[in-house]
Amino acid sequence: MTVVDLGLPRRMVDFTLDGETVSVPEGSTILDACTAVGKSIPTLCYGDTLRPANACRVCMVEVEGSRTLVPSCSRKVTGGMTVHTDSERTRHSRKMVLELLGSAADLSTTPHVAEWMAEYQAKPERFGPPEPPADDHDERPPGEHEEPDGTVAATVSQPAKVDNDLYVRDYGKCILCYKCVDACGEQWQNSFAITVAGRGFDARISTEFANPLPDSACVYCGNCIEVCPTGALSFKKEFDMRAEGTWDEERQQQTTTVCTFCGVGCNLTLHTQDNEIVRVTSPHDNSVTHGNLCIKGRFGWEHMQSHERRTEESAEPATEQE
């Protein structure tokens, strides 16, 4: 018996996980079961508030009787199933997926990936030196590509898109996990501002006709930033601080509070560094928001730390003291 959120009463099913019999509520995924028994499976495209896209293929496990490996994030446990999470085949698959991803995208701001790379001995550099940034990724037609010569490894490396004051799209870091598209679309925000365009290696997150965000259906809720696993989407503040070299998560504090902009009562987690808000997230386990916010909750904090406002306010007490 393991500890998984039961929800409504459900039947329990027994299966074999790495040689041990485990009992989970019907409908649990293999990943749910692993989490419940404290087994850590790497995931990238899995989102705790989203339906599994099972696109990244980092969480693949071996199910006896299946010709291919299966994604643990979306495959439901069935009675009598025998699962291996750490076989030679799964380790090879994870190592290769990490190498393929690492050779194509910049994973420097992806949490945990460095540890996984070390654990699985992934060496993305063995595919050759990375191809330099290109600015034509949004233009690339489906079904054709420039013939490579094998001297460099193709990448999605490209200049960051800075087209508004709130957030930056740095698609050189994008692993095409689909989470931002799902959060923007029918799973949460229903804005449908972004989609996957193009095909194959040239598939990319895009607005219609790759227009700048201000010309799109974007409402700047920032829910895409909330779910982005790689830092491809980030607050402008964070992007600028990283560029200046002043971003330091070690020095940051997190404070969860209630948003004061309206009466809904969304929870905000304020990330502060040197007493300034540098990022706002929202707890995923909150039953009202599930990690989602609106533009005000997500971005409406600049006025609180406006230097002009503070100068005015601080001017008066200063005179009083005199």
Partner 1 sequence: MDLHYLDATPTEAERAAVDGLLGPPEPVNGVGPDPANGHVHAHKDGQAHGNGHVPVPGNGSGDGNGPVSGNGSGHGDDPGNGHGVRHGRDMLLPALHAVHDRVGWISQGALNHLCERLSVPPADAYGVASFYALFAVRPRPPKVVHVCTDLACKARGSAELCSRLEQSLGQAGTALDGMMWQHSPCLGACERAPAVLAFEAGEPARTQLLAPADAGAVAEVARCGPTDTEEESPVSESIPQSGSPELRLLRRIGRVDPDSLDDYRAHGGYAALRNALRMGPAEVIEQVTDAKLMGRGGAAFPTGRKWESTASQPVRPHYLVCNADESEPGTFKDRVLMEGDPFSVIESMTIAGFANGCAKGYLYIRGEYPRATRRLANAITQARERGFLGRSIMGHEGFDFDIEIRRGAGAYICGEETALFNSIEGYRGEPRSKPPLPVEEGLFGKPTVVNNVETLVNVPLILTEGGAAFAGIGTERSTGTRLFCLSGTVARPGLYEVALGTTLRELLELAGGVGDGRELRAVLLGGAAGGFVRPDELDLPLTMEDAQEASTTLGSGVVLVFDDTVNLPAMLLRIASFFRDESCGQCVPCRVGTVRQEEALHRMVDGKEATDGDDLGLLREVGQVMRDSSICGLGQTAWNAVESAIDRLGTLSKGGSA
- Smallest separation (angstroms) from partner 1 to the CB of 175: 7
Residue closest to 292 by CA, chosen among 301, 278, 282: 282
The piece of 196-204, 223-231, 262-270, 307-315 that touches partner 1 (CB under 8 A) is 196-204
Residue closest to 219 by CA, chosen among 195, 196, 239, 189: 189
* Binds partner 1 by CB under 8 A, chosen from 97, 122, 180, 278: 97
Specify the long-range contacts of residues 16-19, CB closer than 8 Å, at least 24 apart: 16/81, 16/82, 16/83, 17/83, 17/85, 18/83, 18/84, 18/85, 18/86
Q: Which residues of 248-267 are buried (b: 16+ CB within 10 A; e: fewer)?
A: eeeeeeeeeeebeeeeeebb
Among residues 91 and 242, whose Cβ is nearest to partner 1?
A: 91
Q: Which residues of 57-88 are buried (b: 16+ CB within 10 A; e: fewer)?
A: bbbbbbbeeeeebbbbbebebeeebebbbeee
**Interface pattern 249-278 for partner 1 (x via CB under 8 A):** ------------------------------
Q: Is 50 in the site for partner 1 (CB under 8 A)?
A: no
The piece of 54-62, 161-169, 223-231, 250-258 that touches partner 1 (CB under 8 A) is 54-62
Q: Is 89 in the site for partner 1 (CB under 8 A)?
A: yes
* Binds partner 1 by CB under 8 A, chosen from 49, 103, 158, 273: 103
Q: Is 206 in the site for partner 1 (CB under 8 A)?
A: yes
Among residues 63 and 259, whose Cβ is nearest to partner 1?
A: 63
Q: Is 27 in the site for partner 1 (CB under 8 A)?
A: no
Q: Is 72 in the site for partner 1 (CB under 8 A)?
A: no
The piece of 17-25, 160-168, 192-200, 223-231 that touches partner 1 (CB under 8 A) is 192-200
Residue closest to 71 by CA, chosen among 107, 35, 96, 43: 43
Tokens coding 11 = 């039947």
Contact 236/162 with Cβ under 8 angstroms?
yes
Q: Is 51 in the site for partner 1 (CB under 8 A)?
A: no
Residue closest to 69 by CA, chosen among 51, 89, 54: 89
CA angle 20, 23, 27 (to 5 degrees): 125
* Binds partner 1 by CB under 8 A, chosen from 191, 252, 269, 272: 191
Q: Is 198 in the site for partner 1 (CB under 8 A)?
A: yes
Tokens coding 317 = 């007490």
Interface with partner 1 (CB under 8 A): 52, 54-58, 60, 68-69, 71, 74, 89, 92-93, 96-97, 100-101, 103-104, 123, 125-129, 139, 141-145, 147-151, 153-154, 175-176, 178, 185-186, 190-203, 206-209, 211, 215-217
